[in-house]
Amino acid sequence: MRKSSPVEIYRQLAFKMRNRIEFAESIFGAQASSSNIAETVCLQGRKIIEGIAYMALVATDHSLGNLKIPRDAKTHWNAETIFVRLKKKKLTLLPSPSRMSKSDDLRYKFVFSGVPEYVLNYDDLIEMYRRFHKGLHEPNPYVQPDEDDFYKKLIPVLRQDIERLRNCTWIHFIGIKGQAFAVDLKNTHGVTAVVPLSKIAEPPSD
């Protein structure tokens, strides 16, 4: 079996992320109980963040030998564990949220400009990851005797978290040592596009 390239693996992860974000957004308007809505969104949110963690590993793999995936992160499925390992090694490998516009320079088709207010760092993602996990647990009746109230208070927070994940990832680039991907989770043709770039601007800082 042919091994998929880093670009193709990243595209597959980005496509799944797009579907999960759109599905989570649709659930908020579903005719269902607060508990069912919150639990479904929390599951998708956890998987979205795990996808971001795996995308960080793929981006490392794409560095063409400049960096290697940390051995103590590569085999983990838990996003928090991966983020902690990468942060410890001072590897910033997260999507850099961007806006895309047509270029006035005929040499280039598009211009990507960073959106610092949409940036999520490792600590932000870990906090969300834990919150999504909390929403998957059955409320302890000795701690949360009013289950419905617990979920009704949680849903607005989850809605905000999903929006923040969308803003950070929907259009972004991610790069290491001059190698970069320009990513559009859903372009004007409805396609998830991942395009290697040869020239990039500096991403916004954490």
Q: What is the pLDDT of residues 41-86, one digit of tens each?
A: 999 999 999 999 999 888 776 554 445 555 555 566 799 999 998 8
Contact indicator for 200, 112 with CB cutoff of 8 Å: yes
Whole-number pLDDT of residue 182: 84
CA angle in degrees (0–180, nearest 5) for 19-133-77: 70
Strand pairing class (193-197; 179-184)? antiparallel
Q: Which domain holds residue 90?
A: 6-197
The confidence score (pLDDT) of residue 73 equals 54
Provide the pLDDT for residue 112: 76
Asked if the structure places residue 202 within a domain, the reply is no
Does some domain include residue 63? yes
Reference 138, options 127, 129, 151; nearest CA is 151
180 assigned to some structural domain: yes
- Domains in the chain, number: 1
**In the numeric block, which tokens belong to residue 196?**
């290697």
Whether residue 76 is contained in a domain is answered as yes
190 Ramachandran zone, left/alpha/beta (phi>0; psi -120 to 50): left
pLDDT for 202 equals 44
| pLDDT value at residue 164 | 98
The verdict on residue 11 lying in a domain is: yes
Q: Which residues of the chain have pLDDT under 70?
A: 1-2, 61-76, 176-179, 197-206
Q: Please state, in angstroms and as integers, the Cα–Cα distance from residue 41 to each residue in 20, 38, 64, 92, 169, following that order.
A: 9, 5, 36, 27, 17
Alpha carbon distance 15, 55 (integer Å) = 11
Taking the C-alpha atoms of residue 27 and residue 201, their distance in angstroms, rounded to an integer, is: 36
Q: Residue 200 has what pLDDT?
A: 42
